[in-house]
Amino acid sequence: MANVQETAKDEPGFEPKIVAFLCKWCSSAGSDLAGVSRLQYPSNAVPITIMCSGSMSPMFVLSAFNKGADGVLVSGCHPGDCHYLKGNFYARRKIYLVQKLLQFIGLENDRFRMSWVSAAEGVKFAGVVDEFVKDVKKLGPQTRLKAKR
Amino acid sequence: MIDVAAIKAHAKALLEKGTVRAVIGYRNSTAGLLAEPFVFTGPESVDDLIYGPSCVQNLALYLVNDKKERAHHKSDDARPVAVVAKGCDARAITVLLQEKHFLREAIHVIGVSCEGTGVVDTKKLARKLGGKHAVEIDFDGGEAFAVTTADGVQSLPAAEIMAERCLECRGAHPQLADIAFGEAKTDRALHTPFQAVKHKMKEEQDNRWSFWARQFDRCLRCYACRSVCPMCYCEECVVDSIQFAVLPDTTAEEKANRIKWIERSPNRSESAMYHMVRAIHLAGRCIDCAECERVCPVNIPLRLLNTRLEMEAFETFDYNPGSDMNAPTLTSSFKDTDPNSFIR
């Protein structure tokens, strides 16, 4: 991955690294469905399964950017569909605040995104990732919050 | 005008009767203009108690420290502790009560209204005096401060030397108080709340980043902002690996396996991470006492960063930290009307 950071902005060789935090009950199953249905979508998203989008700590987002992620996606069940009844409502508030803070600091808006993907929405998941990768590609590598090690 | 003698008499009576363990208040400091927080334990020591525009510190911090100290000394004195609280201090105490940091019965709040004024900003004052050294500052009527320099006493309009946060203050009268001094004035000449944040938000995103990058580059990671914050009471700080408790039975494996979210080195990315974690942890809890900004040795505008999410809490979620000790906290509650359009 070392050469990824060296490639210039807009260069066709740049493949963004996206960390996708997916809730176990909906979005993970949705991504699974996208795979099982053999949908074509970019392989840039690294999925990390979390128990619920409500268990998503803002630390995870910040840490991912610190460790060099070009984009972070948080995905959970649709409102009202949470396996734990209201986890995604808490997530919605929390993620909204994180997003506002990141934008205020000056991180590009398109680098952090949240989506609702149910277990039946394989096509939607592929679409969300596809769109996200396209947007992040336009921005180039994320250098603002990445640790220089 | 606030009757300091009445506050003194009340504090003295409390200590003489022995209904409280101690009174946390202010006294004149030997170093500079600002008052120093002091724990008055005997009725005779209360003679030193003062209240004025130099009382800038947030005394809620000393309640948090008091709790730590009592746990350390295994104190079994169950009497409450009294605390002198301005509007902002009372809000901080309310947030701590809301989080069940201590019981309501454990504190006796001596509320003091800031009335039409607030506390002084020493940087603004120094600029105003143009090199002259202020030795004393006191209230001068409802809208001015009497500043004593070597040349004598002069009266300055409070709005010109008041702290920024006092100008934007939305609750100068303590809502939580067992006894309140001073009158509750609501017709203060205020700045619009959150005006600094709103001004910053109008800037281009790239400019905002270069602004914050400059600030984070300067951060020394002295953790003064964390030490002075009454809301930063965690025993172990998630972003500071040195703070992890090491007990006699902590194994080497446990030490090695602790998650190190960020490095302690003061460089841009790590400092950015530190300040953002603090801002997130303060979302819906920061009561805008601006102590972090005041103590910062390199003048990082931390109040600007921390009030960003306060603005979001107030305007988007209709949540006002420190207004109700029985309400659920911002991130432990939700509404059906919360913004949803940002989610795809």
Amino acid at position B139, single letter: F
Helix (H) or strand (E) holding A129: helix A122-139
Q: How confident is the model at residue A8 (pLDDT cuts 50, 70, 90)?
A: very low
What pLDDT sits at residue B102? 92
Q: What distance in Å separates residue A38's CA from the closest CA in chain B?
A: 22
Both tokens assigned to A83? 């396996």
Q: What distance in Å separates residue B199's CA from the closest CA in chain A?
A: 11
Q: Count of H helices and E strands in chain A?
A: 5, 4
Nearest to A62 among B211, B213, B277 (CB): B277
Q: Is B334's CB within 8 Å of A90's CB?
A: yes
Stretch B103-117: mean pLDDT? 91
What pLDDT sits at residue B12? 95
What pLDDT sits at residue B171? 83
Nearest to B206 among A106, A115, A147 (CB): A106
Report the mean per-residue pLDDT for chain A.
91
Question: Per-residue pLDDT tens for B145-162?
Answer: 999 999 899 999 988 999
Q: What distance in Å separates residue A97's CA from the closest CA in chain B?
A: 7
Question: Per-residue pLDDT tens for A101-131?
Answer: 999 999 999 999 999 999 999 999 999 999 9
Report the mean per-residue pLDDT for chain B.
91
What pLDDT sits at residue B116? 74
Q: How confident is the model at residue B255 (pLDDT cuts 50, 70, 90)?
A: confident
Q: Write out chain A residues lying below 8 Å of B271, CB-based.
A: none
Collapsing DSSP states into helix, strand and coil, what is residue A46? Answer: strand
Residue A121 CA to residue B200 CA, distance in Å, equals 39
Secondary structure in 3-state letters for chain B: CCCHHHHHHHHHHHHHHCCCCCEEEEECCCCCCCCEEEEECCHHHHHHEECCCCCCCCCHHHHHHHHHHHHHHCCCCCCCEEEEECHHHHHHHHHHHHCCCCCHHHEEEEEECCCCCCCECHHHHHHHHCCCCCCEEEECCCCEEEEEECCEEEEEEHHHHECHHHHCCCCCCCCCCCEEECCCCCCCCCCCCCHHHHHHHCCCHHHHHHHHHHHHHHCCCCCHHHHHCCCCCCCCCCCCHHHCCCCCCCCHHHHHHCCCCCCCCCCHHHHHHHHHHHHHHCCCCCCCCCHHHHHCCCCCCHHHHHHHHHHHHHHCCCCCCCCCCCCCCHHHCCCCCCCCCCCC
- Considering only alpha carbons, which residue of chain B is nearest residue A88? B334
Q: Is B339's CB within 8 Å of A79's CB?
A: no
Residue B316 CA to residue B330 CA, distance in Å, equals 11
User: For domain A16-139, which CATH number applies: 3.20.20.70, 3.40.50.1000, 3.40.50.960, 2.40.50.140?
Assistant: 3.40.50.960
Residues above pLDDT 70, as percent of chain B = 99
Q: How confident is the model at residue A135 (pLDDT cuts 50, 70, 90)?
A: very high
Nearest to A114 among B270, B330, B343 (CB): B343
What pLDDT sits at residue B169? 87
Question: What does DSSP say about strands B107-112 and B179-181: parallel, antiparallel, or unpaired?
Answer: parallel
Q: Please report how many Cα atoms fall inside a 13 Å half-sphere around the Cα of residue B77, on the Cβ side.
A: 15
Q: How confident is the model at residue B187 (pLDDT cuts 50, 70, 90)?
A: low
Residue A64 CA to residue A70 CA, distance in Å, equals 9
Q: How confident is the model at residue A10 (pLDDT cuts 50, 70, 90)?
A: low
Lowest mean pLDDT across B8-12, B84-88, B185-189: B185-189
Q: Where are the domains of chain A?
A: 16-139
Q: How confident is the model at residue A1 (pLDDT cuts 50, 70, 90)?
A: very low
- Provide the whole-model pTM: 0.91
Q: What distance in Å separates residue A75's CA from the closest CA in chain B?
A: 9
Q: Where are the domains of chain B?
A: 1-191, 192-338
Lowest mean pLDDT across A7-11, A62-66, A120-124, B98-102: A7-11
Residue B74 CA to residue B70 CA, distance in Å, equals 6
Q: Is B273's CB within 8 Å of A98's CB?
A: no
Say yes or no to pLDDT of B80 above 70: yes
B29: left (phi over 0), alpha (psi -120 to 50) or beta: beta
Residue A49 CA to residue A60 CA, distance in Å, equals 12
Residue B269 CA to residue B254 CA, distance in Å, equals 27
Nearest to B280 among A58, A66, A113 (CB): A58
Q: Is A108's CB within 8 Å of B205's CB?
A: yes
User: How many CB pairs lie under 8 A apart between chains A and B?
Assistant: 109
Stretch B316-325: mean pLDDT? 93
**Other Cβ atoms closer than 10 A to B169:** 23
Q: Write out chain A residues lying below 8 Å of B314, CB-based.
A: none
Stretch A40-60: mean pLDDT? 95
Question: Per-residue pLDDT tens for B280-314?
Answer: 999 999 999 999 999 999 999 999 999 999 999 99
Chain B contact residues (CB < 8 Å to A): 197, 200-201, 205-213, 238, 261-263, 267-270, 272-273, 276-277, 279-280, 283, 305, 308-309, 312-313, 316-317, 330-334, 338-340, 342-344
Helix (H) or strand (E) holding A113: strand A112-116
What residues of chain A, 36 to 65, have a C-beta less than 8 Å from chain B?
A: 58-59, 62-63
In eight-state DSSP terms, residue A71 is E
Cβ contacts of residue A3 below 8 Å, gap of 6+? A13
Cβ contacts of residue B7 below 8 Å, gap of 6+? B25, B49, B51, B84, B110, B112, B181
Q: Please report how many Cα atoms fall inside a 13 Å half-sphere around the Cα of residue B98, on the Cβ side.
A: 25
> Is the four-CA dihedral B167, B169, B171, B174 of positive or negative sign?
negative
Say yes or no to pLDDT of B183 above 90: no
What pLDDT sits at residue A24? 96
Q: How confident is the model at residue A7 (pLDDT cuts 50, 70, 90)?
A: very low
Mutate one of B211, B277, B280 to test the A interface: name it (highest A CB count within 10 A).
B280
